[in-house]
């Protein structure tokens, strides 16, 4: 059984968080020593292996924009006395609500 302890000591063999972060730009050369990592959130080059980051967002998870784009919205039409789902992209811009994507 594997137990993860937040804030504990990072393992030497664990991959850097930047490798799976949405905001990282990674340029890889022939070997591991030829790697440039640039963080778009802190606007800096990262020269060490990152194990914890408060700005980390997993690139394998969909963004808020993507989830809103595929979402179905429950709408009511009091004139026709109807309730039903519509795709969010089928709504008029004035009927859509947009959230800031972190």
Q: What is the pLDDT of residues 6-56, one digit of tens each?
A: 655 666 777 888 889 999 998 988 887 788 899 998 888 888 888 888 888
Domain span at residue 84 reads 64-95
Residue 16 resides in a domain: yes
Asked if 84 and 52 sit in the same domain, the reply is no
Residue 85, pLDDT > 60, answer yes
Asked if 3 and 45 sit in the same domain, the reply is yes
Cα 68 to Cα 72, 93, 95, distances in angstroms: 8, 13, 13
Report the SS3 class of residue 99: coil
CA count, 13 A, side-chain hemisphere, 75: 15
Asked if 34 and 13 sit in the same domain, the reply is yes
Name the phi and psi angles at 27, rounded to 5: -110, 120
Residue 102, pLDDT > 60, answer no
């Amino acid at each position: 059984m594997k137990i993860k302890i937040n804030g504990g000591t990072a393992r030497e063999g664990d991959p850097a968080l930047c490798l799976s972060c949405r905001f990282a730009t990674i340029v890889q050369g022939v070997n591991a020593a030829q790697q440039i990592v640039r963080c778009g959130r802190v606007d800096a080059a990262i020269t060490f292996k990152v194990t914890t980051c408060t700005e980390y967002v997993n690139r394998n998870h969909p963004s808020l924009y993507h989830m809103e784009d595929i979402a179905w919205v429950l709408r009511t039409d009091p004139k026709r006395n109807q309730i039903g789902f519509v795709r969010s992209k089928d709504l008029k811009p004035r009927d859509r609500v947009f959230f800031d994507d972190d």
